[in-house]
Structure 1
């Protein structure tokens, strides 16, 4: 008897382009998602059921091109896949699980973050869509806007720090230092609105505690 598996007819992630080949035009489009990933890797270091992609193609239909968020978070999937990791995020290789959050960092070259991408992410079923405009280029727009998908439509969530119960995290913005640069960054928060510290901050706090105990970190 012939057993037909429809997945056999679908291209694998290795056969698909890993992005849309559109270069970023602002380094914040890389730095901000990388900071969020670094914090996640710290607070969720004992979890293996999540993946955070940066400028990676998300394939939802074989006949369509990938959607490439600046960053996205998926839950309920393997954190690590193979020795070399994912080259792209392919829904039919992820048990049909779409990202639960997509992030877009608005740059000087406007790319439809408030219109077409909102439609695309809603069709994909992404629960939270986060738009951050570092320089607030568009009038009547907040620097940080977080939308939640309700009955196939994105609803803007009020507040500066938005709690997302399905993720058990909040997201917000505030001044801080990352890679030696002082500016406003995006951060994760707990349910009480307390910001999770970055790995750099954790290291500095550890060094300070050692020095308070009379221990020279350079001798360790």
Structure 2
């Protein structure tokens, strides 16, 4: 039985839900570095800006999702949470009121399931992303686990993707079929910071753009459309001038022919006055 299926069966009645009054759901401790913080935001923001959600249900209805960074995942009140750099959970909607303690973090018994995917970003050799954390997320029955190591602290590979099979994670290519999403390492600039970034990708390998990238793409598209319209206007104006010039040329030719005819008639009349038949033979 998959982790997702197992947790879909775990819908705990309200009266049986654990007492969380003593649970620490956030500690407000600033621990992230700038690149990690931007990486977390890039993963979250691009999904909300450009992803329509996982493949639709059989009825064609869109499926909601929740993406967040640095939020605790609680599988039990008896075990400490794991706090991934990023997680994605589908078919869930955050409850209201949003500032209620049980709604400020990810409690598995409130959402009825674990997230589908978590990402850990490696910034040193002390995080145990491929050891303790890997085992911890497997115990939580999270279907996909991704470790991104941009500085290669853990070895030559920057990107490690795993799928839960049974009780263990096995290495896979970073394409997640049930989500219709992939992850790739992309080299470029995000919010003024250049370098490699972990980006969501479509099946064809193109990245999901951020809101700023979509706006810039739309600006360029509108600018291109404006230039195309301007070029078309200039072409039409050139065609109008060409037609006008052709008309003027034809009009000038007609006028020249008329003037020549008038001169010929006047000459013929003058010749007749002189007793010469202009149509006669010499």
TM range (shorter): 0.7 to 0.9
Match of 2:141 among 121, 125, 139: 125
Distance (whole Å) between structure 1 residues aligned to residue 168 and residue 45 of structure 2? 30
Distance (whole Å) between structure 1 residues aligned to residue 17 and residue 90 of structure 2? 26
Matched, 1:91 2:108: yes
Distance (whole Å) between structure 2 residues aligned to residue 133 and residue 113 of structure 1? 10
- 1:45 Cα deviation (Å)? 5.4
CA RMSD of aligned residues (A): 2.3
Distance (whole Å) between structure 1 residues aligned to residue 48 and residue 154 of structure 2? 33
Match of 2:88 among 73, 82, 95: 73
User: What TM-score results when the alignment is normalised by the length of structure 2?
Assistant: 0.66
Contact 2:72 2:84 in 1 (8 A): yes
Structure with bigger gyration radius: 2
- 1:43 Cα deviation (Å)? 2.5
* Per-residue deviation, residues 95-138 of structure 1 (Å, max 9, x unmatched): 2x101101101113521111000000000011111101121112
Match of 1:167 among 165, 176, 179: 179
Q: List aligned pairs for 1:34-53, cutoff 5 A.
A: 34-44=41-51, 49-53=64-68
Match of 1:201 among 204, 213, 236: 213
Matched, 1:17 2:24: yes
| Structure 1 residue matching 2:138: 3-state secondary structure | helix
Unaligned 5+ segments in structure 2 are 1-12, 54-61, 230-282
Bigger proportion of residues as strand:
1
Unaligned 5+ segments in structure 1 are 216-220
Number of residue equivalences: 204
Q: Which residue of 1 aligns with 2:40?
A: 33
Contact 2:69 2:87 in 1 (8 A): yes
Residue 9 to residue 59, structure 1, CA distance change in 2 (3 Å): same
Contact 2:49 2:209 in 1 (8 A): no
Match of 1:186 among 191, 195, 198: 198
User: What TM-score results when the alignment is normalised by the length of structure 1?
Assistant: 0.83
Matched, 1:142 2:157: yes
